[in-house]
A and B are shown apart, each in its own frame.
Chain A
Amino acid sequence: MNTPVKCRVYPLEGYLPEGESLQHQIALRHRKGKVWHWLFLTSTIIGIIVLTALLYNIIDQSFGLVVVQNQIDPETLAINGVPLENLTKEQLVSILEQYVSKGVMRRLESEIPFAVRDWENVYQLVQERVIRPEIVLTWRLTESILHRNEIAALVAEQYPKGKLQFRAWINPDFIRGHQSSVPALAGVRTAILGSLWVISITILVAFPLGLGAAIYLEEYAKDNVVTRFIQTNISNLGGVPSIIYGMLGLAVFVRALEPLTSGAIFGVGDPATANGRTVLSASLTLVLLVLPLLITNAREAIRAVPRSLREASYALGATRWETTWHHVLPYAMPGILTGTILAISRAIGETAPLVVVGASTFVSLDPASPFSKFTVLPVQIYQWTSRPQSQFRHVAAAAIIVLLLLLLSLNSFAVLLRNRYRRSV
């Protein structure tokens, strides 16, 4: 090479440092190297610090001291000494009639007749409408621990009737409870069930479609213009923001295919709510959203299967499908399943497309079919977070814990599944 090499120009041009100045310069360079080493390490640690802060913040918000005031003491509602929890449904209804105005009773009756409601539901109504426990003040976990005495003094002074108690916002009642406009009674049950419904249908549709496309591209497709077009197209779709999929779902599944997604063609849809904003629409939207990711993951797993396996199968006279089904797929399955679960955990956390598709803001009944109205955990978290009352922040934090636990268990399931399959192949 005769092109002149550009070098770093040192203070004295054309003069290489030697002796003491060389030593000095080397020491300087090494010091600089050390400083930057620490800077790089710090950047990495910052990421971990933020992750810790995020988890800390959520836990901090989901536990803490609260002041509760009941409008009516539950002990005064006991009938003949039988406490409220042991009363029959009829007795509870009569309590309701006693305390709640006729108009409200009529509205409740027209929503769902009392004859149809179960005990749990009526009990919750009594809690909400009659006893009306009201949380008047809340503290975060760290505040509650560090300033316990000051808080107690403040409560004794300002809320003599109130009771100071430690509340875990995430508790069995929260998981089992239905939605409510009172933060302390709000539950996440319909959202969990909604998430499970939506995700199950998404898997049922997306898995065969994605796997089929991956098999086609890896085992069948010739390297031609059409194939390359499909490949580019899939990677382009992978980069489309999720909210755009929501708009696609709104226009196609909710509007254009409304008779299908509301269940009207099957005659099973609920005519009162049949407007296409159903579990099925949400699932199909998510299917389109996760397909690119699923296909890419499955293709990588299939590509990792050694060529010799296929050759051996062909040599024995197997057809292409027999080779794929009996030899390639079992070998690639751990990878495919892991990839699928990764794609699904992305779908579970998706919020924006489902808000656009039309998750309901208030679902009081469990979803019962693909044609039910739906809400899902992340959408519920979004709604609670965007409410002005600060207590819903605590409720949202509790729901976030549920969501993260769901994701965690799904991912550990993926690891288990992979290990199991790996042993059997």
Chain B
Amino acid sequence: MGTRSKKEETAPRYLRKRRRVRESLIQTFLYFCAGVSILTTLALVIVLGEESWLFFGSHEVDLREFFTTTVWQPAIGRFGVWPLVNATMMTTTIAMLVALPLGLAVAIYLSEYASERARSVLKPTLEILAGIPTVVYGYFALTFMTPLLRAIFGDNVVEIYNTASAGMVMGILILPLVSSMSEDALSAVPRSLREASYAMGATKLETAVQVVVPAALSGIAAAFILAVSRAVGETMIVAIAAGAGPAFTFNPFKAAETMTGHIVRISGGDLSYDSIDYNSLFALGLLLFLITLTLNFISRLFVERFREVYE
């Protein structure tokens, strides 16, 4: 503090910047609040990393077996992650088969076709779907969708717990996410592009599909990828309706347990700390965390790209 500027020294005392204790205390508190998010991330990485380290470090497990074998039976010390990952991929794929076409169609309808009045009714109604707790969707999958599927395809084809009904209901849950993000991207396309297309004699459909959708493509892609990430991390629907017990199957009408479903089922029971079961959950958690983080990252890259073009 030795080198004060000349100006400050000659300024009258009452004009100098006073130090305010209260202000700086408050600022410190606010800084701490913002820092909590960083602490959370740190804690996440440490917890998941440490327990997974213990898991892979134990003599019962080796990394190669974890990623290459297809039997997950902690009771006999078999830890091959593929049955769980496969079930997750199945439910996610089925959910996407429902959510992507429907979501995109809804987005196109709301942004290109619907009148202002229809929009003001339809949009909030669809958003209710996003606000319903996922456990309710799980109930719906088990008590409505599964009986429906069994009535259509026959009781001996469709098991009581199956990935198809869980995936389809998950698709409905994710639909509002896809539609509202895609709609944002569609409405960000400048009006002039549409006018130009109409001026060339294109119909509404041709304008929407051949001009507006391609122009909004990176935003739509972002929505799709985020939807995949959401489906991978979704838990309660699969925990209730997809089945309990890892199974390596490609039949959507058979029961199979996803990564999230497995974590919830095992940790819901009596679990002793520092057991291999406990640690294995964190290894699954780490895998889940890395998958969703990557997907979210890619999704954000796409969003930034379409922002660049039109803003």
Contacts and interface: CB of A to CB of B under 8 A. Distances in A.
Interface in B69-111: 101-102, 105-106, 108-110
Given A352-B236, A358-B267, 5 more contacts: A47-B129, A61-B143, A208-B33, A209-B33, A351-B235
Contacts of B209: 36
Q: By DSSP majority rule, is chain A's interface helix, strand, loop, or mixed?
A: helix
B73 to A, nearest CB: 21
Interface in B131-180: 131-140, 142-144, 172, 175-176, 179
Contact of A48 (B110, B126, B179): B126
A217 B38 CA distance: 14
A382 B129 CA distance: 19
Interface of B: 20, 22-23, 26-27, 29-38, 40-41, 43-44, 47-48, 51, 101-102, 105-106, 108-110, 113-114, 122, 125-126, 128-129, 131-140, 142-144, 172, 175-176, 179, 203-206, 209, 226, 229, 232-236, 239-240, 260, 263-264, 267-268, 273, 281-282, 285, 288-289, 292-293, 295-297, 300
A378 interface: yes
A383 to B, nearest CB: 9
A288 B41 CA distance: 10
Size bracket, chain A contacts: 35 or more
Nearest to B128: A51
A352 B264 contact: yes
> Which among B108, B126, B235, B300 has the highest number of chain A CB atoms within 10 Å?
B235
B106 A47 contact: yes
Interface in A374-401: 378, 381-382, 385-386, 393, 396-397, 400
Contacts of A291: 36-37, 40
B44 A244 contact: yes
A246 B267 contact: yes
A216 to B, nearest CB: 4
Interface in A272-331: 288, 291-292, 295, 319-321
A340 to B, nearest CB: 14
Interface string A389-417: 00001001100100110010001000000
A45 to B, nearest CB: 9
A211 B33 CA distance: 8
Interface of A: 29-30, 32-33, 36-37, 39-44, 46-48, 50-51, 53-54, 57-58, 61, 208-213, 215-217, 220-221, 229-230, 233-237, 239-244, 246-248, 250-252, 255, 288, 291-292, 295, 319-321, 345, 348-352, 355-356, 358, 378, 381-382, 385-386, 393, 396-397, 400, 403-404, 407, 411
A233 B300 CA distance: 13
A251 to B, nearest CB: 4
B239 A247 contact: no
25 contacts: A43-B109, A44-B105, A44-B106, A47-B125, A51-B125, A51-B128, A213-B36, A216-B31, A229-B38, A230-B38, A237-B37, A240-B292, A240-B293, A241-B235, A247-B47, A248-B43, A321-B22, A349-B132, A350-B133, A352-B264, A356-B263, A378-B133, A385-B142, A397-B143, A404-B136
A396 B47 CA distance: 34
Contacts of A210: 33
B282 A247 contact: yes
User: Chain B interface mostly helix, strand, loop or mixed?
Assistant: helix
A171 to B, nearest CB: 19
A212 B29 contact: yes
Contacts of B34: 212-213, 216-217, 221, 230
Given A29-B206, A352-B264, A47 B102 contact: yes
B36 A50 contact: no
B110 A33 contact: no
A284 to B, nearest CB: 11
Residue among A51, A233, A345, A386 with most chain B CB within 10 A: A386
A37 B36 contact: no
Given A230-B38, A237-B40, A291-B40, A43 B292 contact: no
A215 B27 CA distance: 10
B293 A239 contact: yes
Q: Which 10 A-B pairs have the closest CB atoms?
A: A241-B233, A349-B133, A212-B33, A43-B105, A40-B109, A352-B235, A216-B30, A239-B296, A33-B205, A213-B33
